[in-house]
Amino acid sequence: MKEALSSFDVTAVVKELQRYVDWNLDKVYQPTREHLILALKSRGEGKEFINFFVGKWLFRSTKTKEMPQQPTDFAMMLRKRVSNARLTGVRQQGFERIIVLTLEKDGKYELVLELFAEGNVVLVKDGIIIQPLISRTWKHRVVRARREFAFPPPIPDPSEMDQGAIMEMMKASDADIVRTLATRMNLGGRYSEEACARLGIDPHREAADVSVDESSAILDMIKTLMKEAKESEKGIIVKKGGVVEDVVPISMRTYDGGETSEFPSFSEAIEEYISMKPATKKEKVAEESKDSGKLKRKIAQQEAAVTSLQNESKDAQAAGDALYAIYGEVNAIIATAKRNVDASGDVGDIPGVVSFDRKSSILNVKIADATFRLDIKGSVESSAQRYYEDAKKAKRKLEGLLVVLVETRKEIEQQKKMMMKASDAEKTKHKPTKRFWFERYRWFISSEDAVVLGGKDAKSNDMLVKKHLDDGDRYAHADMHGAPSIVVKMKDGVGEETLREACEFAVATSKAWNAKIGSAAGYWVLPEQVSKTPQSGEYLAKGAFVIRGKRNYTNKIDIRLAIGEIVFEDERKIMCGPISAVRAKCTRLVILRPGRIEKNRFAKVLADRFGVPIEEIQSILPPGDLDILESSGIDIQELTSRRANGES
């Protein structure tokens, strides 16, 4: 069942949203933290709405909904900035699940709607973030107020690819055709299968075996599907057994003969699909207790406001301090701007100046990757003082909000206990996945499709090596005591990448995890180097082995693992292993490191998200508590927000 729009779907929705170019943005509403509604109006057309469910859905609608009487802080910020702005453009960023609305009102704004991962809404002006719905920091990207906005690293855009590029991508893949198209071209599984079906190509053939002519035909077909989506004037809901299964903008050969319903537009189909889609467990619990749902939304809004005010106060204070730190440079810019304005009415070409508002005499200046507002009618001191006053105002608001937040948390505590009981009862109903022979041990499937096994304790260490370390296999271990034995079941095509992953697995499942050290070393050896016979006079503990001869080391291994959903021998499994192995096989995954989130609490959330018994998650997690570095395709906001608040 489709749970969110794909990049392909976004292409079709963006085409429909072109209708609103030159309309005015009337108001912004936020019925829940995850739902943003943009009300637009046009003379002679009345009022219509763009609905954005953060990280999931986007569609246009003519239906009037009951709106909240009190706007959220984020909705108020948007109203203040862009109410009555003219919508001048709607575009999809490349082939990303990102939509950019261009708005003009006293300057040019961009409202960025992000559908990937947990999603986000970001208001940008002149390349600088005014305010995001959710502040986040990644290695490659920072989304915070007053920072320069940057899109995430781009994914391949089929419309810009040539035959050589797709052939190279196919040859470099170790997955089948459909998974390669779904993950590396961001098509999603359904449209990848459709391309193969129309061409009569087996989607489960190895991608590396595709011929030049076949790869060229696949690329042409993908471009054909994209063209159909851009030109489509319909939407189709697909049902399976009477229950909605998918919503698509084009006729699909893979759904021939199925139960379908056609709508005049893709947006109408999406809106109907959402209303018909069976509620998730979280939605069912919310329906059973409307009061609890209101409280949860209330506390989420308050927590978001606390974070926003904390950032606002901190950033304003830092900006004021920074002006004094570069006093001379700032003073020179103000003086030059004053002279130029007095002489010609304009600031002229001054290095670092981004924009100038004549009405307010405010100069936006970029110095060393930071942007400042300078009043050219004042001084460095007066500009800094404005920032300090902003910081004080934010602090005063924060103090009052924290008092309210404490009361709301007390009010919600009893409801949370009831919700947990209901949630736990639901989780016990999850059906287990098929169990394989290797699950008596720790395990993962490498990026080169090798089965890699690890001991869970001294007894299983002995059993693993005795029963499963065969000639031609490899043995891996962390360079420390208290680590499991790792056996790599070798086969054709398995090489250095798998051996490196085995060393990473050995380190991450050792005592190093609970020790919370930054990195450690691991090594691999041949089976004949592994022995249970100690030197004369020495004692060998149960589960331990003697390694003789050269060890092949991998040094400075970061203590990291990932957990995600894979398909193994046509069966769905949840796998925890090295990041590269999980990324190669999963689109829904979470990257972990040693930390403070209690392991069993994390397991409960993941079991619910993956729809498996909690025991399946507990049995594969690393040996101690953890932190979340990154997630993709999985909503784990309740864990990340608690971590952000300092809860363990």
- d(Cα 525, Cα 499) in Å, to the nearest integer? 10
- d(Cα 242, Cα 230) in Å, to the nearest integer? 29
List, in sequence order, every residue forming a beta bridge with 166; answer none if it has no partner: none
- d(Cα 164, Cα 159) in Å, to the nearest integer? 13
Q: Is residue 429 part of a domain?
A: no
Task: List % helix, strand, coil for the chain (3-state, nearest 5).
Answer: 40, 25, 30
Check residue 593 and give its pLDDT: 94
**pLDDT tens digits, 202-260:** 999 999 999 999 999 999 999 999 999 999 999 999 998 788 889 999 999 999 888 99
**pLDDT tens digits, 444-465:** 999 998 999 999 999 999 999 9
Residue type for position 101: L
Q: Is residue 287 part of a domain?
A: no
* pTM over cut 0.95: no
Query: What CATH number did the domain enclosing 196 receive?
Result: 1.10.8
Check residue 421 and give its pLDDT: 62
For residues 400 and 480, state if they share a domain. no
3-state SS assignment for residue 506: helix
For residues 129 and 172, state if they share a domain. no
Of 252, 278, 304, which residue is a domain's last?
Answer: 278
Whether the pLDDT of residue 262 is over 50: the answer is: yes
391 close to 316: Cβ distance less than 8 angstroms: yes
23 close to 41: Cβ distance less than 8 angstroms: yes
For residues 54 and 129, state if they share a domain. yes
Residue type for position 395: K
Structural domain that includes position 124: 7-143
For residues 443 and 572, state if they share a domain. yes
For residues 100 and 170, state if they share a domain. no
Check residue 645 and give its pLDDT: 37
For residues 502 and 636, state if they share a domain. yes
DSSP for residue 324: H
| 81-118 CB burial, b ≥16 within 10 A, e <16 | bbeebebeebebbebbbbbbbbbeeeeebbbbbbbbbb
638 close to 455: Cβ distance less than 8 angstroms: no
For residues 518 and 624, state if they share a domain. yes
Whether the pLDDT of residue 287 is over 60: the answer is: no
Residue type for position 52: F
**pLDDT tens digits, 22-46:** 999 999 999 888 899 999 999 888 8
Is the pLDDT higher at 201 or at 534?
Answer: 201
List, in sequence order, every residue forming a beta bridge with 109; answer none if it has no partner: 103, 125
- d(Cα 599, Cα 417) in Å, to the nearest integer? 19
Is the pLDDT higher at 495 or at 297?
Answer: 495
For residues 166 and 130, state if they share a domain. no
Q: Is residue 638 part of a domain?
A: yes
**pLDDT tens digits, 154-203:** 888 898 999 999 999 999 988 899 989 988 887 888 899 999 999 999 99
Q: Is residue 415 part of a domain?
A: no
**pLDDT tens digits, 586-610:** 878 999 999 989 999 999 999 988 8
For residues 120 and 241, state if they share a domain. no
Pairing mode of beta strands 24-32, 451-454? unpaired
Whether the pLDDT of residue 2 is over 90: the answer is: no
- pLDDT-derived band of residue 136, with 50, 70 and 90 as boundaries? confident
For residues 130 and 183, state if they share a domain. no
How many domains, in total, are found in the chain? 4
Pairing mode of beta strands 552-558, 546-547? unpaired
Q: Is residue 296 part of a domain?
A: yes
Of 278, 308, 336, which residue is a domain's last?
Answer: 278
Is the pLDDT higher at 647 or at 113?
Answer: 113
Check residue 648 and give its pLDDT: 33
- Taking alpha carbons only, the member of 293, 283, 291, 296 closest to residue 409 is 296
- pLDDT-derived band of residue 407, with 50, 70 and 90 as boundaries? confident
Q: Is residue 562 part of a domain?
A: yes
